Amino acid sequence: MTKTSLWGGRFSGGPADALARLSVSVQFDWRLAPYDIAASRAHARVLAAAGLLDPDELGRMLAALDDLEAACASGEFRPTIDDEDVHTALERGLLERLGTLGGKLRAGRSRNDQVATDLRLYLRDHARGLAVALVELADALTEQAARNVDTAAPGMTHVQHAQPVTFGHWLLAHVHPLLRDLDRLRDWDARAAISPLGSGALAGSSLPLDPAAVAKELGFAAPAPNSMDAVADRDFVAEFLFVTALIGVHLSRLGEEVVLWTSTEFGWVELDDAFATGSSIMPQKKNADIAELARGKSGRLVGGLVAVLTMLKGLPLTYDRDMQEDKEPAFDAIETLQLLLPALAGMISTMTVRVDRLAAAAPVGFSLATEVADWLVRRGVPFRDAHEITGQLVALCSVRGCELEDLTDDDLAKVSEHLDPSVREVMSVESALAARTTPGSTGPGPVAEQLALVQHKLDSWRQWAVEKVVPR
């Protein structure tokens, strides 16, 4: 085995063990190996185009990189405790295959532009994987919404009954944040599609390289316009972590609602046994652990964003070793969502909605009061007065322990001369929902239209989500 170091010529001895242990990153950055090899192929071709590799050397170099990639994929080639990072390990593998020829690949590039390139490639690739999982969760919510377009439910504000809604509308309200998350991923990808390779350590290269050709081969839109910014920039990591943190917040809110819906007090939803857990001491328990983990893991995702922003805030240009701390939060965010999103999709797609419980709860808590106020407004009563009159009706019901529809005609007349028996036309959940006909509202008609729009948007996302970033 060849022992490799990418630096050390001016040093009289090796690093202290404490420094070596602190510096090593290969235990987490090894996952960048396929992307580093892809970038190495592109770099080898521009070296050949610059006359720094002859055709035979280029052929041998590309063949060795192909062999090294296969060995990495199979596990035949792995990093060792002597490899400082993924770049050191891969150069060792190349030298073992090519001897001194392998050393020519280092010309015109630095670990600074290598790692910035590798990480962009890795995150762009995995952003699409997250998009696939987000679409699957959105699909699960949309399918449940389609089954509940007409299902009445008690809409909430302040976790108090507010106005009747359809449960399909409620479920779709969780889809729209996911659609915005997908939009943010694609917007982020457009900004991340800039290639740092060719920037060297910070100043570019005196060799006649072609950063534009490298960028094109690696699926980037363009090479970086400023070599110093290219190696110092970690906006793409921080922004990616913002997107994943916001995804985590959206999943946490969904998780909290599922916890409520499945509680004995609500009883609106029953989870499938395959997506719930029990208790080690209480045989009757059925716990919404996936939903609870969605809440819990949001803190982890937010923490990764804060860690990277804090690390970056005081760094001078250009590269500083502090930036080694950019990778683990990004890797962790991806791994967290890769675990969480499929579990949530399975939980949502298999849950049973208790339509009877939802319908029974929909009118409870005077949720039809606003319908009465709106009915008065349509009769010419100023809303300020209509609000006051309806509030008096609610107060009377509270004293008597009854609902609005239980009041007699005499009761209505005593509260206000504007109230007559025809107000009962709006004192039903069905009429309240049917009255909601404006775009985006909770009536069955607008919800059906919204459902079709959401399904169309999700269909448009599927192709982008499965695109490959790095061509072979």
For the annotated catalytic residues, the residue numbers are: 158, 279
Distance from C-alpha of 196 to C-alpha of 199, rounded to nearest angstrom: 6
Length of the chain: 472
Residue 44 vs residues 53, 64, 194, 219: alpha-carbon distances, Å: 8, 11, 19, 16
How far is Cα of residue 243 from the mean position of the Cα atoms in its chain?
6
Rounded CA-CA distance 145/288 in Å is 20
Identify the three-state secondary structure at position 323.
Answer: helix
**Residue holding tokens 């500083």?**
320
User: Torsion angle of alpha carbons 381, 383, 389, 391, nearest 10°?
Assistant: 170
Backbone angles phi, psi at 275, to 5 degrees: -120, 30
Give phi and psi for 336, each to the nearest 5. -60, -45
Please give the structure tokens belonging to residue 426: 């709006």
Residue 454 in tokens: 């959401």
Whole-angstrom distance, CA of residue 175 vs CA of residue 456? 13
Rounded-to-integer distance, Cα 328 and Cα 270, Å: 37
Which pair of tokens denotes residue 261?
Answer: 């819906």
Torsion 256-262-268-270 (CA) sign:
positive
**Cα–Cα nearest to 20, from 102, 64, 82:** 82
Can you spell out the DSSP letters for 192-234? H-EE-TT-TTTT--SS---HHHHHHHTT-SEE-S-HHHHHH--
Q: Where are the beta strands (DSSP E) in 23-71?
A: none
Alpha helices in 262-382 (DSSP H): 289-312, 327-350, 355-361, 369-378
